[in-house]
Amino acid sequence: MSSIPVSLTFSALLAKLHEVVESIEDPRRKSNGTHYQVKDAVISAFSTFFMQCSSFLEFQRQMHNRQQRDNVQTLFGVNQIPSDAQIRNILDLLSVTVLIPIFLWIYHTLRNAGYLASYEVLDGQLLVGMDGTEFFRSQQIQCACCSQCKPKDGRMSYFHQAILPVIVAPAHEQVISLPPEFITPQDGHDKQDCETAAAKRWVHAYAKEFEPGRVTLLGDDLYSRQPMCELVLEQGFHFIFTCLSESHGSLYEWLTFLQANGEVHSFRHRHWDGQQWVIYQFRYANGVPIRDTQPALTVNWFEMKVTQEREGHCLYFNSFITDHLLFDGVLMEMGQSARARWKSENENHNVLKTKGYHLEHNFGHGHQGLANILLSLNVLAFLCHTVLALVDASYQVLRGRLGKRVTFFEHLRTLTQYLVFESWQQLMAFMLERTEQLPSRRIKRRLNSS
């Protein structure tokens, strides 16, 4: 079994998290009541999300009472497990920015080790999907970070939203999480925060982390406005954004004029998708003004339609703007790249909400930053599992043997309720040994159904 770079083992990931957390200044007033360390509170919360078990800490407290040892201590390096209330009280005082360094370190480590090369498209581009999601809403519970709205029934609603940027690729199911950006009231601003404002903050904050000209941002129709496009280009990114006729009337008037003069080009490609023949039809034009007011940024527009060859049913239709030059030879890859934005929803938001991470569950709301920092720890746990699935051969074999994601986590939870493991490596070795004789047909059936 091939070895993995030391910097990408579970132990190294956890060591980096410890390093980041230990640098956090304790926000509590010095007193005899600060019995538990900030580090223990943060790592304990992380362990709950990593194990996908809301009762994980309670099971480990009970185990510690019986055996004077527990898996939070041995696997995650926690000295003392704080109570749930103490964890919430401590985390509520922390700024959500304290976890940004671990996200960036993981990204740079993956890139430097060459694991992102297979994600590159369009002659060396990384695709970053930008998509907002709501993860909390209530008519009673609120905090300083809540957004608010009053619907038609007149009752005020309080909610949390965040942009969860991810590296995506048409050929990869797995997405790579990047630092989140929260849609939350901003100091000194009268207007309520929104997704595009949060996206602009993210672009400003993290452009320097990427090689200039090597990242293409993907976004929906909210993003395809001149101020956003200009900012993206100024910061060294490219873009492919959805562009709907309903919201870009003047751009589509230009396209009508260009079409009448034979300057809108067409391209058709017949493709076997493994089950049937499908037809890809493109229309495209370069150098189209994005708006009717001057100065107007010129963008390149393309429309993509996918139909079944036999029945003629439309399988997909959408239109986009980009700063990448369009020509026949690049359209198939451009279309596939544009469609990869949906992985932000399907392979990121959907997994986090429905596959055990329970993103929309209220783990604790607090009065200041608790809800946001818990979401960040949840996304970080998801990222760490993604990294292990990409680079750790033992993890890959075990996931393959157990098939469904839910089965893997069921085994983790059950074993760590009854047995203490000295390390993550010992836990993986134990599970590999016990699953070695699983029948191959059973494995294949499980994999096909997951």
The better pLDDT of the pair 327, 144 is held by 327
pLDDT-derived band of residue 440, with 50, 70 and 90 as boundaries? Answer: very low
| Alpha carbons within 13 A on the beta-carbon side of 6 | 1
Kindly state the tokens that stand for 258: 């260009």
Mean pLDDT in residue range 395-418: 93
Kindly state the tokens that stand for 196: 């595009």
308 pLDDT higher than 80 = yes
173 pLDDT higher than 70 = yes
Mean pLDDT in residue range 73-97: 94
pLDDT-derived band of residue 4, with 50, 70 and 90 as boundaries? Answer: low
pLDDT given for residue 2 in this prediction: 45
Side chain identity at residue 291, one-letter code: R
The better pLDDT of the pair 299, 144 is held by 299
**Tell me: the pLDDT tens digits for 368-402?**
999 999 999 999 999 999 999 999 999 999 999 99
Report H helices in 7-126: 10-22, 38-50, 56-67, 71-76, 84-92, 100-112
150 pLDDT higher than 70 = yes
pLDDT given for residue 155 in this prediction: 84
DSSP helix/strand/coil, 272: strand
pLDDT given for residue 448 in this prediction: 43
Q: Which of 35, 37, 40, 36 is nearest to 17 (CA)?
A: 40
Mean pLDDT in residue range 159-187: 93
Mean pLDDT in residue range 337-361: 91
441 pLDDT higher than 50 = no
429 pLDDT higher than 80 = yes
Q: What percent of the chain has pLDDT over 70?
A: 94
- Are the C-beta atoms of residues 166 and 175 closer than 8 Å to each other? yes
pLDDT-derived band of residue 273, with 50, 70 and 90 as boundaries? Answer: confident
Could you give the domains of the chain? 6-97+361-449 (no CATH), 116-350 (3.90.350.10)
Task: Tell me how far CA of residue 5 lies from CA of 83, 231, 240, 426, in angstroms.
Answer: 36, 37, 34, 18
Spatial separation of the C-alpha atoms in residues 376 and 206, rounded to whole Å: 17
Spatial separation of the C-alpha atoms in residues 181 and 137, rounded to whole Å: 18
147 contact partners, CB below 8 Å, separation of at least 6:
158, 159, 160, 161, 183, 184, 185, 192, 193
Mean pLDDT in residue range 108-129: 96
Mean pLDDT in residue range 194-205: 95
- Are the C-beta atoms of residues 277 and 309 closer than 8 Å to each other? yes
Q: Map tokens 């920015």 to a residue.
A: 97
- The per-residue pLDDT of the chain, averaged, comes to 91
DSSP 127-182: EEE--EEEEEEESS---TT-EEE--TT---EEEEEEE--EEE-TT-S--EE---EE
Omega of the bond leading into 295 within 30 degrees of 0 (cis): yes
Instruction: Kindly state the DSSP code that residue 96 receives in the 8-state scheme.
Output: G
pTM of the model: 0.92
Angle at 100 between CA 340 and CA 109, to 5 degrees: 65
Q: Which of 176, 170, 183 is nearest to 240 (CA)?
A: 170
DSSP helix/strand/coil, 277: strand
290 pLDDT higher than 80 = yes
Query: How deeply is 68 buried, as exposed, middle or buried, from its count of CB atoms within 10 A (0-12, 13-18, 19+)?
Result: exposed
Characterize 320-355 residue by residue with b for buried, 16 or more Cβ atoms within 10 angstroms of its Cβ, and e for exposed.
Answer: bbbbbebeeebbeebbbbbbbbbbbeebbbebbeeb
**Tell me: the pLDDT tens digits for 214-256?**
999 999 999 999 999 999 999 999 999 999 999 999 999 999 9
pLDDT given for residue 35 in this prediction: 77
How long, in residues, is the chain? 450
pLDDT given for residue 154 in this prediction: 75
33 contact partners, CB below 8 Å, separation of at least 6:
none
**Which of 322-331, 395-404, 418-427 comes out lowest in average pLDDT?**
395-404
pLDDT given for residue 449 in this prediction: 39
DSSP helix/strand/coil, 308: strand
**Tell me: the pLDDT tens digits for 15-57?**
999 999 999 988 887 765 567 889 999 999 999 999 999 899 9
